[in-house]
Amino acid sequence: MTSEELQEEINIELDLIESTVQELLSLERDLADRKPSVREKTAAAAFMAQFYNGIENILKRITHFKKANLSNYMQTLKDV
């Protein structure tokens, strides 16, 4: 993988993260004057998980590009 390919993949992931953030902000605006329903809380949790996964995907791509060894870290994530 070249650095240009890495940058392209990161940019795609950042676009997806931006979309997720916009959905969260939209949900927040919708809930400005009331408490969220169970469905809305579930949606917010799913959006936050997508955000986290996007960040994790970027970090994985960078470490793969740099050929870093994260086996202990990955095992810890699996254990959690």
Number of structural domains in the chain = 1
- pLDDT of 64 reads 86
- pLDDT digits 0-9 by tens, 8-23: 999 999 999 999 999 9
> Alpha carbon of 9 to those of 21, 48, 68, 70, 78: distances in Å?
18, 21, 18, 20, 24
Instruction: Please answer whether residues 61 and 6 qualify as being in contact, where contact means their C-beta atoms are separated by less than 8 angstroms.
Output: yes
Q: Which domain holds residue 16?
A: 3-79
Q: Which residues contact 57 (CB under 8 A, 6 or more apart)?
A: 13
Global confidence as pTM:
0.79
